[in-house]
Amino acid sequence: MKSLKEGTGKGSDFLGWLNLPVEITSEQLADIEKTAAELRARTQVMVVIGIGGSYLGARAVIEALADSFHNYENTGMKVIFAGHNIGEDYYHELIHYLQNKEFGICVISKSGTTTEPAIAFRLLKELLEAKVGKEEAGKRIVAITDASKGALRTLADQEGYKTFVIPDNVGGRFSVLTPVGLLPIAVAGIDIEQLVAGAKKMEEVCATESLAENPAALYAATRNELYRSGKKIEILVNFQPKLHYFMEWWKQLYGESEGKDGKGIYPSSVDFSTDLHSMGQWIQQGERTIFETVVSVETPNHELHVPSDEENLDGLNFLAGKRVDEVNKMAELGTQLAHVDGGVPNMRVSVPVLNEYYLGQLIYFFEKACGISGYLLEVNPFNQPGVEAYKKNMYALLNKPGYEKESEAIQARLKK
């Protein structure tokens, strides 16, 4: 905690995320909201292009708060994602889908040189310009990138796109509370002021140096203690399918921050009760190297009761009249008891409801805990040198200029 606060630990030039909620100004939020409103006025679909930390935070919040079946189509806007894979069929289908839609592009890359989003941007920029002309396309494209470096910055300046800056001292996976996350979230019609207010509250709560009163420190200390006792895998659990992408965001945050120097808890996730019918067996009785952290939502936003049925063929009339969530909660408690009995330590992080404010709290809580946890593990939680290995090989295999030596070495290796 001290090293984070005083900036004396490894990677301390990437600690800008620590004070983002408190430091973000109302002018910055207003600029993001204004841009989002302008994009909504011109388009019905927004394609957010980015990979890793440049898309997972926005997707986590949007999927948690948007309608599961209509996204934000009811507010006249749908947000979809690209640039996080190189699937040719995905892009074929996306181009087909966008053909008759009024769409815009929010392209996000801190380095401005990442291959996956760059390919997606080439494809969709070409489509958009062919559909609406270069001038209108320029008004529907927003770029979020470095203040001065990288190909995306050069292109955005050249084409005159509206841009937002990713601060130098904030790494991709810690950037959801910068325009990287906030602009797409605002485009979806979600209240970013409430999101930041929740994060700000958690920043204040987690500022204390008292371990007992600091939830992020408690979580970080507990998971590290479990790791030392042989629990090598953490499973993040939800009982609300809308949290699926929140778990994906968390996996990147912890996986990239801690998995290095031959160390690190392996972060995995499950959606319950769905995955109780697929992974439940392993969790209950497989190798005892796991622990669980359940993200629990106390009250759903909507109320629904189990109907009564005259014939009662399924024998479920004992549930008639109960809220669907009561059944879900008993599944949650029953699972917790069973897993503890099965030797799976169980932690629980709970929020009263799923809304902007509490998601903001969860985001900051997990970020702060990740920083503390990485330092407890004695790694640099703010770099990701391992990500370069596949890129180097891919560039060599694709004969990228400058990779001639690597290319020769790989060809010789493949011939063996």
Q: Does 52 sit near ligand PA5 (CB under 6 A)?
A: yes
Which of 63, 193, 234, 256 touches ligand PA5 by CB under 6 A?
256
Q: How far is the CB of 311 from ligand PA5 (least distance, A)?
A: 54
Of 106-114, 127-135, 277-285, 394-402, which segment contacts ligand PA5 by CB under 6 A?
106-114
Cβ 328 to ligand PA5 shortest distance, Å = 33
Q: At what angle do helices 179-187 and 56-65 cross, to 10 degrees?
A: 30
Q: Rounded to whole angstroms, what are the CA distances from 81 to 94, 121, 234, 315?
A: 10, 12, 27, 43
Q: Is 51 in the site for ligand PA5 (CB under 6 A)?
A: yes
Write the single-letter amino acid at 290. Answer: I
Distance, in Å, from the CA atom of 90 to the CA atom of 335, rounded to the nearest integer, reads 36
Segment 89-96 long-range contacts (CB within 8 Å, at least 24 positions apart): 91/120, 91/123, 94/47, 94/124, 95/123, 95/124, 95/127
**Per-residue three-class SS string for 152-174:** HHHHHHHHCCEEEECCCCCCHHH
Is there a cis peptide before residue 273, judged by omega within 30 degrees of 0?
yes
Written as six digits, the tokens of 414 are 């493949």
Binding pattern to ligand PA5, positions 6-45, x when CB under 6 A?
Answer: ----------------------------------------
The SS3 assignment for 293 reads: strand
Q: Looking at 2, 277, 302, 405, which residue is catalytic?
A: 277
- The reply to whether 167 sits near ligand PA5 by the rule CB under 6 A is no
Shortest distance (Å) from residue 272 CB to ligand PA5: 27
**Comparison of 143 and 354: residue with beta carbon closer to ligand PA5:** 143
Residue 384 found at the interface with ligand PA5 (CB under 6 A)? yes
Which residue lies nearest ligand PA5, judged by its C-beta? 172
Angstrom distance (rounded) from CA 56 to CA 246:
8
- Residue 53 makes contact with ligand PA5 by CB under 6 A: yes
111 binds ligand PA5 (CB under 6 A): yes
Closest approach, Cβ 374 to ligand PA5, in A, equals 13
Residues at the interface with ligand PA5 (CB under 6 A): 51-54, 109-111, 114, 117, 171-173, 256, 384
